[in-house]
Amino acid sequence: MTTLHQEHPTHEHSHGPTCGHTEVRHGDHVDYAHDGHLHRRHAEHWDECETTAHVVHESHPHRHGEGCGHPAVRHGDHLDYAHDGHRHAAHDGHWDDH
C-alpha cells in the first residue's frame, strides 16, 4: 500500500506521547489524529497520512463500532478503527484498510 507524501505545511504543533491527540500505530510508524486527519512525522516535517488506493481488508470477521475495544479515530467524513497496526473504515459492506 502506497502513502502519498502530502506535507502539512502549517503544522505548528509537535505531536508526541503527551500531546493530547490519539496516537495510532500504523504499519512502521505512528499517526496522530488531529482535526479529522492523521499526521505522521516525515524527515523534519509532518505529512498527512493518506493511502493512494482503495484497499479492501480481506477476511475481517470483526465488526467495529461503539464498544468494540478498538480506538475510533475521526478521519475526514468517517471513523477509522485502529486495529493491528492499521486503520479500518466501513465502506460498501466491507472494511477498507487505511
Tell me if 7 is assigned to some domain.
no
Q: How many domains does the chain have?
A: 1
The CA–CA distances, whole Å, from 68 to 63, 71, 83, 88 equal 8, 8, 11, 13
Tell me if 6 is assigned to some domain.
no
Domain, as residue range, for 29: 20-97
pLDDT of 2 reads 44
pTM for this entry: 0.59
Cβ–Cβ under 8 Å, residues 73 and 24: yes
pLDDT, averaged in runs of 10, over the chain (98 residues): 54 77 80 78 76 70 84 82 78 80
Tell me if 11 is assigned to some domain.
no
Tell me if 8 is assigned to some domain.
no
